[in-house]
Amino acid sequence: MPSYNPIESSDETTIFPYHDLTPPTTRDIYEARNIVQQYLPRTPLVRSESLSADLNADVYLKREDTLPTRSFKIRGFYNLVADLDQEFRQKGLITSSMGNHGQGMATAAREFDIPAVIVVPETLENPTKINSMKRLGATVIAHGRDVDEAREYAEQMAAAEG
């Protein structure tokens, strides 16, 4: 499988002027936790007997698969959407995804009544993920041969539509 190496965006479609690229502070993390815990249940820590034995240590697994989308990615979207300016709530959200990322965005967008568009590769052969995103209220657009082409198309749409 070819590796993906991000490159500088010559047309500024990857990083928009309103993106704040400042690393999060400890306060930011606690504020995010306060937002997320309003919408999602705590996930359990479960001791892994086999890993603990293999590594001669107490190893615990954080069971994020118990969340509604079966992925931790939903946490970031609740945090993003809860603090989203009204201007962007009206315009909606757009992303590209192979599944879990899109399901997370669709779930948070539905909770806050924000339109969501998810661009998936035309070659995505997982109808369960696609149907899940649609069931969550997202508009799903198939475009491109792979996730990179889908991402580029989503970036173009975001730039064109603000």
What residue segments make up the domains of the chain, in order of their start? 26-161
What burial class does residue 157 get, using C-beta atoms within 10 Å of its C-beta: 0-12 exposed, 13-18 middle, 19+ buried?
middle
> What distance in Å separates the CA atoms of residue 11 and residue 52, rounded to the nearest whole number?
49
Instruction: Confirm if 36 and 78 have CB atoms less than 8 A apart.
Output: yes
- Supply the pLDDT for residue 12: 54
- Supply the pLDDT for residue 3: 38
Instruction: Confirm if 71 and 103 have CB atoms less than 8 A apart.
Output: yes
pLDDT in 10s for each residue of the chain, 162 residues: 333 344 455 555 566 666 667 888 999 999 999 999 999 999 999 999 999 999 999 999 999 999 888 888 889 899 989 988 888 888 899 999 998 899 999 999 999 999 999 999 998 888 898 999 999 999 999 999 998 899 989 988 888 887
CATH number at 26-161 = 3.40.50.1100
Is the whole-model pTM more than 0.85? no
- Supply the pLDDT for residue 162: 75
